[in-house]
Amino acid sequence: MSLMLLLLLLLLVLLCQTMVLPGLSASDPCVLELEELRRDVRTLQNKLLIGAWQLTHLKTHSYTITHPPPSTNQTEEHRTGALASLPPAGSLIVDDKDCSELFDRRRPGSGFYRIRPRVDQEPVLVYCDMEDGGGWTVIQRRRHGRVDFNRDWVDYRDGFGDFKLWNDEFWLGNEHIHSLVKDGENLVKIDLMDWSGEKTHVYYQNFRITEEKDSYRLRYGVYSGRGGDALSGGGRMVEQWSASLSGMQFSTRDQDHDRYLQGSCAQENRGGWWYNRCHAANLNGKFYRGGVYKGLYDNGVVWGTWRGLWYSLRHTTIKLRPLLSLDSLAGSGAGPDG
């Protein structure tokens, strides 16, 4: 399948170059078809990458999954409801770098744990998602709209929200996120659920943000998943120009680093985010009950490529896991906790 696509792509490149090069424009059917094929090839490459990662992950760890995999007809409430009985926050004082190290060392259940992304900093309390392959450090969660995400720079830098219960909402904090992703390669997974209980997810490889003096600029690699590449604006060039968040700095209502010269994306969209002019994804936006909303601005909890800009999602989770540390961990003698 992928070989056929590659051959077709090659053929089209040759055709474009030999036959229609002189008058070639962006709207030329040949160019459009070529673009579409390129996207297909990229999608296939992404699928292969994620598949390879999952295989490596399973091989390296050779762990048994202690939780049964969630069945597709279960609601999020049913699934995570079981976590309410987990040990309370702060029950473990450890020096694991992130949830992935903790998972490899002890394989505990999902819950709040102290991790220490940097040795020169105090440990920080995070929610570790130990299902879904395990070892995910959760950096953002929306569940019920009780936490206000329309906040200033300092709050987004240091983190805010509640860090106690299984359904608490929070932003881990840009400084902590930076510490987590500054070394090595990370995979980010974004889990989304709409108001009818339907779920989707996306992956981005090599997710990272720069330090505060560069306003936590966002970088990420290849996309994969079912929810669409909303971080990159949704696909077409026009949307990418105005809504791709790759390379964007972080903005809040009191610090405007977006590319929208006439105003502040953070103020209009009610959240802190890596706005461009402004977005096709706004996961820290305003929480609207029921999904569909109206207003002057598309400022809901939005993943544009899945439910559109005028649908505010019910549940969101952004979580991280290192990719390369899997190999190093396998050789580090990380055994059962003594």
- List of residues contacting Ca ion (CB under 5 A): 256, 258, 260
Pick between residue 195 and residue 260 the one whose CB is nearest to Ca ion. 260
Q: Residue 17 corresponds to which amino acid? A: Q
Least distance from Ca ion to the Cβ atom of residue 254, Å: 12
Cα 189 to Cα 26, 111, 133, 203, 220, distances in angstroms: 33, 18, 11, 5, 12
Rounded CA-CA distance 91/107 in Å is 15
Cα 54 to Cα 209, 234, 258, 322, 326, distances in angstroms: 24, 26, 35, 12, 11
Pick between residue 63 and residue 260 the one whose CB is nearest to Ca ion. 260
Least distance from Ca ion to the Cβ atom of residue 260, Å: 4
Pick between residue 101 and residue 258 the one whose CB is nearest to Ca ion. 258
Pick between residue 140 and residue 251 the one whose CB is nearest to Ca ion. 251
Pick between residue 189 and residue 257 the one whose CB is nearest to Ca ion. 257
| Whole-angstrom Cα Rg for the chain | 21
The first and second tokens of residue 213, run together, are 């003096």
Question: % helix / strand / coil in the chain, to the nearest 5?
Answer: 35, 20, 50
- Please report how many Cα atoms fall inside a 13 Å half-sphere around the Cα of residue 104, on the Cβ side: 23
Least distance from Ca ion to the Cβ atom of residue 266, Å: 8
Least distance from Ca ion to the Cβ atom of residue 263, Å: 6
Least distance from Ca ion to the Cβ atom of residue 258, Å: 4
Least distance from Ca ion to the Cβ atom of residue 250, Å: 13
Rounded CA-CA distance 59/203 in Å is 20
Pick between residue 185 and residue 256 the one whose CB is nearest to Ca ion. 256
Torsion of the alpha carbons at 268, 274, 275 and 280, rounded to the nearest 10: -100
